[in-house]
Chains A and B, each alone.
Chain A
Amino acid sequence: NAGVTQTPKFRILKIGQSMTLQCTQDMNHNYMYWYRQDPGMGLKLIYYSVGAGITDKGEVPNGYNVSRSTTEDFPLRLELAAPSQTSVYFCASSGGQWVATNEKLFFGSGTQLSVL
């Protein structure tokens, strides 16, 4: 199993450009998440999803959009990139509360995004 796969690994955007960060998981997990991690800081939840067709806002949703059309995929869209969105973005998935061995978050390898 590949686990959680994120693309791209690195990206530089100009202010006002748009892009989509891709995330896919092959563990048949119901729950998926997007976090951002600013330098020297902890992770902040942007959006999460409890299943296909269901998404909800986290701590810092402004400037982002998500969709969940399938169990496997959870893309994150930045519409009008701003310098404040320079960060490392992590996608994660979990099997859910009631799955004894899958309580933990499985993280992707991250996308380093710079907005200049």
Chain B
Amino acid sequence: GENVEQHPSTLSVQEGDSAVIKCTYSDSASNYFPWYKQELGKRPQLIIDIRSNVGEKKDQRIAVTLNKTAKHFSLHITETQPEDSAVYFCAAGVHVQGAQKLVFGQGTRLTINP
């Protein structure tokens, strides 16, 4: 089955700097790669996603890149702000009859220092 590895487990950056979180996956059949943000005690929320037929996607300060050959994808946050502090999860998977069958990474705790 699919296995997703996420690095680093913790990341601390100065406000205004960029943050990069990396994930690798094992199953070449995976074709959908979402990123979720989870604040302490809250539910996960989708921040950006990418499909396997796209190499890069950007939404304001957030971007995701995908390298299918190497089986890795990354989240880039630019101009970080204190409200970006949270745990970020990558996931990889496929759609089964329309449902998302996802495997999540272990998470990265991002801290933005003022």
Contacts and interface: CB of A to CB of B under 8 A. Distances in A.
Contacts of A105: 34, 36, 44, 46, 100
Contact of B102 (A41, A45, A96): A45
8 contacts: A30-B99, A33-B100, A43-B91, A49-B99, A94-B100, A96-B99, A97-B98, A104-B34
Interface stretch (A12-20, A75-83, A107-115): A107-115
Given A41-B106, A42-B104, A103-B49, A48 B1 contact: no
A58 interface: yes
Contacts of A45: 101-103
Interface of B: 1, 4, 6, 34, 36, 42-46, 49, 89, 91, 95-107
A107 to B, nearest CB: 4
Contact of B107 (A41, A58, A98): A41
A36 to B, nearest CB: 11
A103 B46 CA distance: 10
Nearest to A56: B96
A110 B106 contact: no
A99 to B, nearest CB: 9
A59 B103 CA distance: 8
B98 A98 contact: yes
